[in-house]
Amino acid sequence: YLIALGLASRGTGPLTRLAASGNEGRLRRLRTGVAAVGLAGALIGGLLGWWIGPALVDLIFGAGVAPQASVVAIVAAGSAVALMGLVAVLLLVARAATSAITVSWVVAFVAATAVLLVASDDALTRVALAFIVAEVVSRALMFAADRRSAGPVAP
């Protein structure tokens, strides 16, 4: 994520030029492609997290520290959704719709807080669920805001 975050700023200029030129078809395809790849990544990441995640955590940090497979799966899936957020934010910045970023995260914070208050008794599971809920809610709202900010698509 940190590497992608550092590289993401390089996309601001090209996306801004696309938005300014009104190339909505290309921006829409980018948004759709990122969402599809991100959802597939979340599914694959979640499955791999559940399957080999605890063993990897034990390998890296030492035996006995790995959380339950379900927690690793949720965090892995949420991390893939978080990566989608880099593009979602850049799309909104390119359209000068930065207030939508703030609104998306405020709503996501409220949703995550609700999950923290009512989810599992297990603290790790509760935090993992709040993480993925925040990511999914903010991403859905950001992509929806990008669609609303878009101009007409040329035939």
Q: Residues 74-83: pLDDT tens digits?
A: 999 999 999 9
pLDDT of residue 143: 94
pLDDT digit string (tens) for 131-149?
999 999 999 999 999 989 8
Contacts of 108 (CB under 8 A, 6+ apart): 133, 134, 135, 137, 138, 141
Q: What is the pTM of this model?
A: 0.88
Residue pLDDT, tens place only, 91-115: 999 999 999 999 999 999 999 999 9
Per-residue model confidence as pLDDT tens digits over 39-69? 999 999 999 999 999 999 999 998 888 899 9
